[in-house]
Amino acid sequence: MNHSIFKKNKRAEPALITIILLIFLILTVIALMWRVILTFANEGTGEIFHKTDCLRTKIEIIKVNNNFENNLILARGTGYGKLTGIKVFLDNQDIENIPINISEMEEKAFTIQNNFLRNNPNSVGKYVKIAKLIGDEFNSSKVCDFDGKSAEIGVQVVSA
Protein backbone atom coordinates (compact mmCIF):
# COMPACT_ATOMS: atom_id res chain seq x y z
CA MET A 1 0.00 0.00 0.00
CA ASN A 2 1.30 3.36 -1.03
CA HIS A 3 1.02 6.10 1.59
CA SER A 4 2.16 8.93 -0.64
CA ILE A 5 -1.13 10.78 -0.18
CA PHE A 6 -0.39 11.24 3.51
CA LYS A 7 3.22 12.27 3.09
CA LYS A 8 4.01 15.94 3.66
CA ASN A 9 5.74 17.92 1.00
CA LYS A 10 8.73 19.20 2.96
CA ARG A 11 9.74 21.59 0.19
CA ALA A 12 6.50 23.59 0.52
CA GLU A 13 7.02 24.49 4.21
CA PRO A 14 9.85 27.05 3.74
CA ALA A 15 7.99 28.70 0.85
CA LEU A 16 4.84 28.99 2.96
CA ILE A 17 6.77 30.50 5.88
CA THR A 18 8.44 32.95 3.49
CA ILE A 19 5.09 34.03 2.05
CA ILE A 20 3.61 34.53 5.54
CA LEU A 21 6.65 36.59 6.63
CA LEU A 22 6.46 38.67 3.46
CA ILE A 23 2.77 39.39 4.03
CA PHE A 24 3.52 40.38 7.63
CA LEU A 25 6.34 42.66 6.47
CA ILE A 26 4.13 44.33 3.85
CA LEU A 27 1.35 44.92 6.40
CA THR A 28 3.89 46.45 8.81
CA VAL A 29 5.22 48.80 6.14
CA ILE A 30 1.67 49.84 5.19
CA ALA A 31 0.82 50.53 8.84
CA LEU A 32 3.96 52.64 9.32
CA MET A 33 3.30 54.61 6.13
CA TRP A 34 -0.30 55.21 7.20
CA ARG A 35 0.92 56.53 10.57
CA VAL A 36 3.37 58.94 8.91
CA ILE A 37 0.75 60.18 6.43
CA LEU A 38 -1.81 60.62 9.20
CA THR A 39 0.68 62.62 11.31
CA PHE A 40 1.48 64.99 8.43
CA ALA A 41 -2.21 65.40 7.59
CA ASN A 42 -3.11 66.26 11.20
CA GLU A 43 -0.29 68.79 11.51
CA GLY A 44 -1.28 70.41 8.22
CA THR A 45 -4.95 70.73 9.12
CA GLY A 46 -4.04 72.10 12.55
CA GLU A 47 -2.13 74.91 10.87
CA ILE A 48 -5.14 75.60 8.61
CA PHE A 49 -7.45 75.91 11.64
CA HIS A 50 -4.96 78.24 13.33
CA LYS A 51 -4.77 80.51 10.26
CA THR A 52 -8.55 80.45 9.90
CA ASP A 53 -9.01 81.52 13.52
CA CYS A 54 -6.45 84.30 12.96
CA LEU A 55 -8.52 85.61 10.06
CA ARG A 56 -11.86 85.22 11.85
CA THR A 57 -10.88 87.04 15.03
CA LYS A 58 -10.73 90.83 14.82
CA ILE A 59 -9.22 92.91 17.59
CA GLU A 60 -7.72 96.38 17.57
CA ILE A 61 -6.14 98.89 19.91
CA ILE A 62 -8.32 101.87 20.82
CA LYS A 63 -5.89 103.63 23.15
CA VAL A 64 -2.57 103.09 24.91
CA ASN A 65 -1.29 105.13 27.85
CA ASN A 66 1.41 104.77 30.46
CA ASN A 67 -0.92 104.52 33.49
CA PHE A 68 -0.38 101.93 36.20
CA GLU A 69 -3.77 100.38 35.43
CA ASN A 70 -5.93 99.96 32.35
CA ASN A 71 -3.22 101.22 30.05
CA LEU A 72 -4.33 99.24 27.00
CA ILE A 73 -7.87 99.59 25.66
CA LEU A 74 -8.91 97.01 23.07
CA ALA A 75 -12.02 96.50 20.96
CA ARG A 76 -12.95 93.13 19.57
CA GLY A 77 -14.92 92.95 16.37
CA THR A 78 -17.01 90.12 15.07
CA GLY A 79 -15.48 86.72 14.60
CA TYR A 80 -15.57 83.61 16.73
CA GLY A 81 -11.95 82.45 16.68
CA LYS A 82 -10.33 81.01 19.81
CA LEU A 83 -8.63 84.16 21.13
CA THR A 84 -6.69 83.36 24.31
CA GLY A 85 -4.49 86.41 24.58
CA ILE A 86 -2.34 89.01 22.88
CA LYS A 87 1.36 89.62 22.39
CA VAL A 88 2.26 93.28 22.99
CA PHE A 89 5.09 95.05 21.16
CA LEU A 90 6.45 98.50 22.04
CA ASP A 91 8.36 99.94 19.06
CA ASN A 92 8.67 96.42 17.62
CA GLN A 93 10.13 95.02 20.85
CA ASP A 94 8.14 92.14 22.36
CA ILE A 95 7.34 93.29 25.90
CA GLU A 96 4.54 91.06 27.17
CA ASN A 97 1.97 88.32 26.56
CA ILE A 98 -1.40 89.03 28.17
CA PRO A 99 -4.19 86.48 28.60
CA ILE A 100 -7.45 88.17 27.68
CA ASN A 101 -11.11 87.32 27.81
CA ILE A 102 -13.04 89.66 25.56
CA SER A 103 -16.32 88.93 23.81
CA GLU A 104 -17.34 89.90 20.30
CA MET A 105 -18.19 93.58 19.88
CA GLU A 106 -16.81 94.40 23.34
CA GLU A 107 -14.40 97.15 24.35
CA LYS A 108 -12.24 96.41 27.37
CA ALA A 109 -9.24 97.84 29.24
CA PHE A 110 -6.24 95.71 30.19
CA THR A 111 -3.14 96.39 32.26
CA ILE A 112 0.30 95.86 30.79
CA GLN A 113 2.61 94.93 33.65
CA ASN A 114 5.86 95.64 31.84
CA ASN A 115 7.82 98.64 33.20
CA PHE A 116 8.81 99.77 29.69
CA LEU A 117 5.30 101.17 29.42
CA ARG A 118 3.92 101.64 32.94
CA ASN A 119 4.42 105.14 34.33
CA ASN A 120 7.45 105.62 32.10
CA PRO A 121 7.63 109.08 30.51
CA ASN A 122 10.05 107.69 27.92
CA SER A 123 7.30 105.45 26.54
CA VAL A 124 5.11 108.41 25.51
CA GLY A 125 5.21 108.87 21.76
CA LYS A 126 6.32 105.29 21.10
CA TYR A 127 4.12 102.86 19.21
CA VAL A 128 2.35 99.77 20.48
CA LYS A 129 1.30 96.86 18.28
CA ILE A 130 -0.51 93.68 19.22
CA ALA A 131 -0.61 90.20 17.74
CA LYS A 132 -3.40 87.76 18.61
CA LEU A 133 -2.69 84.52 20.46
CA ILE A 134 -5.00 81.80 19.16
CA GLY A 135 -5.57 78.33 20.60
CA ASP A 136 -7.33 76.29 23.24
CA GLU A 137 -4.98 77.33 26.06
CA PHE A 138 -2.99 80.51 26.63
CA ASN A 139 0.34 78.75 27.27
CA SER A 140 0.17 76.68 24.08
CA SER A 141 -1.38 79.29 21.78
CA LYS A 142 0.01 80.29 18.40
CA VAL A 143 0.86 83.85 17.36
CA CYS A 144 -1.01 85.53 14.49
CA ASP A 145 0.11 88.48 12.41
CA PHE A 146 -0.52 92.04 13.60
CA ASP A 147 -4.15 93.11 13.48
CA GLY A 148 -6.27 96.21 13.08
CA LYS A 149 -4.44 99.48 13.57
CA SER A 150 -1.39 97.43 14.51
CA ALA A 151 -0.97 96.38 10.90
CA GLU A 152 0.76 99.64 10.01
CA ILE A 153 2.89 101.43 12.54
CA GLY A 154 0.87 100.82 15.70
CA VAL A 155 -0.91 103.08 18.17
CA GLN A 156 1.00 105.89 19.83
CA VAL A 157 1.39 105.84 23.63
CA VAL A 158 -0.10 108.88 25.37
CA SER A 159 0.67 110.19 28.85
CA ALA A 160 -1.46 109.18 31.81
Per residue in 59-77, pLDDT (tens digit) is 889 999 999 899 999 999 8
Domain ranges of the chain: 57-158
Question: Which pLDDT does position 17 carry in this prediction?
Answer: 85
CATH of domain 57-158: 2.60.40
Cα distances from 129 to residues 54, 113, 125, 132, in angstroms, run 16, 16, 13, 10
Residues in the chain where the model's pLDDT stays below 50 = none
Q: What is the largest CA-CA distance in the chain?
A: 114
Question: Which pLDDT does position 31 carry in this prediction?
Answer: 93
Question: Which pLDDT does position 4 carry in this prediction?
Answer: 56
